[in-house]
Homo-oligomer: A and B are copies of this chain.
Amino acid sequence: MRQKKPSVGNGTVLERLRASGLRPTRQRLALAKLLFARGHRHASAEQLFNEAKTQRIDVSLATVYNALHDFTAKGLLREISIDSGGSYFDTNTSYHHHFYFERSGRLEDIAGDRIAISALPEAPGGAEISRVDIIIRVNG
């Protein structure tokens, strides 16, 4: 029997981790809460690390990276690299695309059905397509 009274949203996050086969450690729970507590977001490792620090969550940078990669491997996050020198992790893992604001470095989701691709070439050499990434760069 659990002794601690679960705070708001804790249960859901805990279940998500368990369902993915990830041990719900204190750090992973805290980070998952930061990521998934409210609507979708695009977070960098550094950002998440700083948020954790601000909220007095004791977690190392290495653990932030580990958690982000573990979450990604389990399909809880999707990793996006735009320019070399930093990935974002997107909590929206459904089929969709991105606006990239070159000035600010911000990302914004584009719902999957707002871009219609009417011709998609076969992958050469019988390779399997694992993902189609569309990034619309805007200077804003």
Shortest A89–chain B CB gap in Å is 12
Shortest A43–chain B CB gap in Å is 14
Shortest A92–chain B CB gap in Å is 16
User: What is the copy number of this chain in the assembly?
Assistant: 2
The number of chain A residues touching the other chain, given as a range, is: 35 or more
In contact, A134 and B132 (Cβ under 8 angstroms): yes
Contacts of A23 in B (CB 8 A): none
Given A116-B117, A130-B139, 6 more contacts at CB 8 Å?
A: A83-B84, A84-B85, A114-B119, A115-B121, A127-B138, A134-B134
Binding site for B on A (CB under 8 A): 81-87, 99, 101-102, 108, 110, 114-121, 123-140
